[in-house]
Each structure stands twice: as C-alpha cells, then as structure tokens.
Amino acid sequence: MKINSAEFIISNSDAAKCPKDRLPEYAFIGRSNVGKSSLINMLTNHKKLAKTSARPGKTQLINHFLINKNWFLVDLPGYGYARVSKSTKAIFQKFITDYFETREQLVCAFILIDSRLEPQKIDVEFINYLGESGIPFCLIFTKADKLGKTQVQKNVAAYKKHLLANDWEEMPQYFITSSEEGTGKEGVLNYIENVNND
C-alpha cells in the first residue's frame, strides 16, 4: 500500500472521545522507547507525524491519524517504563484497556517488541491480555538493524518458544522492522491493505 496522506486528527485520554467514524483502525503499542514513533513515521513517510522523544514514557495519549482518508492509524501510549511513577504507569492504564474493550472499529493491534531483548514480562502480559480479550494482534520486532539477521531470527525463535511454553498454540503473525534502515515497512502496510480489502 502506498501512503498518500496522513493527517493528525485528535489526541485524548478517553476512549469514549475517540473519533466516531466507523473507519477501520489499526493500533500500535509497546514498551516506551521500543521505537514506536520512529516506526509510525517510517510507515507514513513522515519525519515527525508521531513525536519521537528522548524522554521515554512522555506520550500518554491515544493519537488518531487518518491515513489515505480511509483508515486510522492509532498511536497508543507506551507502557511500562520504570522512570514513570507507578501511578502514571499503572500497568495497562484504564483508558488503554477501555480503548481495547470498547473500540469496535479496531481491526488489529500491532505490539512492538524490541528485537534485541529476550521476552519481557510486561510484553508477554500484554500479549496474553489481548489474547484473552479476543483482540486480533500481530507482533513487530523493532530495531532489527542493531543485530545481525541470524541473531534476529534466533531471538524471534526464542520468542516463539517462550509463547508456546506459555499456553500459546502458535506464534502470532509477526514482522521484523528497522526504522533506521527503512526495512519491514511493506510487510506491515501490505498486511493492513489485505485485511482492509477482505
């Protein structure tokens, strides 16, 4: 899919105030600093659509972007960064779980995972939460340029092993990206396009 237009629509911390349009939407979420803003900017060909920040955990809003005037890309707050106080961090803040539990337009959530790390408890908890809630999701392994290809594959295989050992029957659909090198973009965009056309 080619991105012809990407416009910021609204930011808020209340799932009930998200746009009323019935356009399909795709949400991006992950631990703070996982590379979410960089990925969104890469996907949409913008340098600054999503704000990259040197201060992890700063964005605490649900941001809607209208893409090609026919679907929403939703930038959700990063979770689980230690420097944010417990009260603001509150593992999976209520407005985020409200979003997932009420947003009927949500077609798929993309959970971003740092490809360099072994499975992190909070990511696996989030994966389990979406699984138990019956919300379709994919994984995106980010920052792949920081490792060799073989090592990325090894880490993905280790992730799969971990999920299978934790009651998952199969590895969810996944993508490997590098915003630094601009790789993995077509895989994610084509996936969205195919699901939208189904």
Inter-axis angle of helices 36-44 and 185-197, to 10 degrees? 70
Among 1, 27, 35, 64, interactor with ligand GDP by CB under 6 A: 35
CA distances from 101 to 73, 135, 151, 175, 178 (A): 17, 9, 36, 25, 30
Burial class from Cβ neighbours inside 10 Å (0-12, 13-18, 19+) for residue 170 reads exposed
- 3-state helix, strand and coil shares in percent for the chain, rounded to the nearest 5: 35, 25, 40
- State the greatest distance between any 2 C-alpha atoms of the chain, in Å, as a whole number: 44
Q: Report in angstroms how near the CB of residue 26 gets to ligand GDP at its nearest.
A: 16
Among 1, 6, 33, 80, interactor with ligand GDP by CB under 6 A: 33
Query: Quick check: 146 binds ligand GDP (CB under 6 A)?
Result: yes
Among 38, 105, 128, 196, interactor with ligand GDP by CB under 6 A: 38
Whichever of 67 and 176 has its CB closer to ligand GDP, that residue is 176
**Which residue spans within 17-69 are E strands per DSSP?**
25-30, 62-67
Q: Which of residues 75-94 bind ligand GDP (CB under 6 A)?
A: 78
Among 44, 63, 155, 179, interactor with ligand GDP by CB under 6 A: 179
Whichever of 18 and 152 has its CB closer to ligand GDP, that residue is 152
Rounded to 5°, the CA angle 128-132-187 comes to 65
DSSP string, 148-169: -HHHHHHHHHHHHHHHHHTT-S
Q: Report in angstroms how near the CB of residue 69 gets to ligand GDP at its nearest.
A: 25
Query: Quick check: 37 binds ligand GDP (CB under 6 A)?
Result: yes
Q: Which of residues 125-144 bind ligand GDP (CB under 6 A)?
A: 142-143
Distance, in Å, from the CA atom of 15 to the CA atom of 35, rounded to the nearest integer, reads 23
Q: Report in angstroms how near the CB of residue 43 gets to ligand GDP at its nearest.
A: 12
Whichever of 183 and 196 has its CB closer to ligand GDP, that residue is 183
**What residues line the site for ligand GDP (CB under 6 A)?**
32-38, 52-53, 56, 78, 142-143, 145-146, 178-180
